[in-house]
Structure 1
């Protein structure tokens, strides 16, 4: 089933077979994927679209991958980028990082490592964001509200603690957090485990029960709102 609300990935790869394989793999992992087969198309999509992660091959036709990346950085596109390449020498890796890549992976690569690196880049993107995705809604950190970009309805205001709890879950949407972990990350030393449950209840009352999922015997994670 195609993802409709997952992180958005721009995949720029001219090897058709590899691009199709990676696209299918990422979709199965819950990402929304747009692909480009040459540097010029990738540049256009990178400048006009909004993505959480970019995966860029170096040996692209029309516009070489690092030249593409340099232009994006010059145009203030800050989306984290992973460069895929067959060039694994130290000088090539340094050149890729200096061009603006956050990570550099040499072909052939192992799929679990690629997925782990993409998750790390996505976390970096979320850490720097002023808003975090909650399905089709957004948690706006600046004013502690939840909004639906598709609707003109009023935003839902959150308290500082409600916002902090939801932000922790939204920054790592696949992770299950135990109650002690959430207590340490969000609340004060004087609070008890029951405080976590209380604020989960508050958030569900404001945003719907599906916003936070209970993982029986473990704790909580972001739901599928």
Structure 2
């Protein structure tokens, strides 16, 4: 098997026979494959689940493949995207890449080439190395914004951002107030500084963004 079980893949394709063939091939290589037969279903899955790669047909019912990729990119969804299409002109390929696709493969294609392209996308360091996922939202490390599930960007102060980044980097760990104070704030900061900034984050991003573990400290919640 060339893929790894940790590699999750979304296949958005309305051709049932091709969908079955690709699903069987990719599952055999170790990918966990979710399927959608139209663009609206693909958009829903892409926004609510986490994928390493999305394979998207260009011509889809309900929502065109170009529009689907554009909407996913506008929500800062970091998965690498391979667009499949019967439209193979230079202008068509440029349109797909400009919409946000990372690669473009024209039908009919060779299955081995498709597999190789997907493996290459899985190996690439995504721009989402600048992203940390927080539930259905993201923490963007470049402009230091939080991105809500609906795509809204919320600017954070330096300390708010650094506190949330520490929590998001180790999302399953309960951090004590003392540990967070050492990592994010000056040693001379007041003992209540962590509680104060957790309050600020909750005001900006909602109470669920940081969970209180009574008697221990804080851990990452969800956006």
Distance 2:41 2:17 in 1: 18
TM norm structure 2:
0.56
Q: In 2, Cα distance between the equivalents of 1:28 and 1:127? A: 28
Alignment of structure 1 residues 91-102 onto 2, 5 Å: 91-102=91-102
Gaps of 5+ in 1: 132-141, 153-225
Q: Is the 8 A contact 1:39 1:60 kept in 2?
A: yes
Aligned residue for 1:62, secondary structure, equals coil
Counterpart in the other structure of 1:121: 121
| Residue-by-residue CA offset, 1:143-181 (whole Å, 9 max, x unaligned) | 9xx9795x98xxxxxxxxxxxxxxxxxxxxxxxxxxxxx
- Alpha-carbon offset, residue 129 of structure 1: 3.5
C-alpha distance in 1, partners of 2:68/2:75?
11
Q: CA RMSD in A?
A: 3.0
Per the alignment, residue 87 of structure 2 pairs with 87
Distance 1:19 1:88, change over 3 A: same
What residue is the counterpart of 1:139 in the other structure?
Answer: none
The 1-side partners of 2:32 and 2:98 are apart by 28
**1:66 positional shift:** 0.5
In structure 1, the residue matched to 2:70 is 70
CA separation in 2, counterparts of 1:125 and 1:14?
A: 29
Q: Give the distance between the partners of 1:73 and 1:130, measured in 2 at CA.
A: 14
5+ residue gaps, structure 2: 132-164, 175-223
Could you tell me which residue of structure 2 aligns to residue 10 of structure 1?
Answer: 10
Deviations 1:107-150 (A, max 9, x none): 0001111011001111114685379xxxxxxxxxx99xx9795x
Q: CA deviation at 1:5?
A: 3.2
TM-score (norm 1): 0.56
Computing the radius of gyration from Cα coordinates, the structure with the larger value is: 2
Match of 2:21 in 1: 21
Which secondary structure state, in structure 2, belongs to the residue aligned with residue 56 of structure 1?
A: strand
Q: How does 1:1-225 map to 2 (within 5 A)?
A: 5-125=5-125, 129=129
How far 1:74 sits from its partner (Å)?
0.8
Name the CA distance, whole Å, in 1 between partners of 2:15 and 2:37: 8
CA 128–4 in structure 1, closer or farther in 2 if over 3 Å, else same: closer
Q: Which has the higher contact order (CA 8 A, sep 6+)?
A: 2
Runs of 4+ in structure 1 deviating by more than 2 angstroms, as ranges, are 3-6, 125-131, 146-149
Q: Separation in 1 of the partners of 2:98 and 2:130?
A: 26
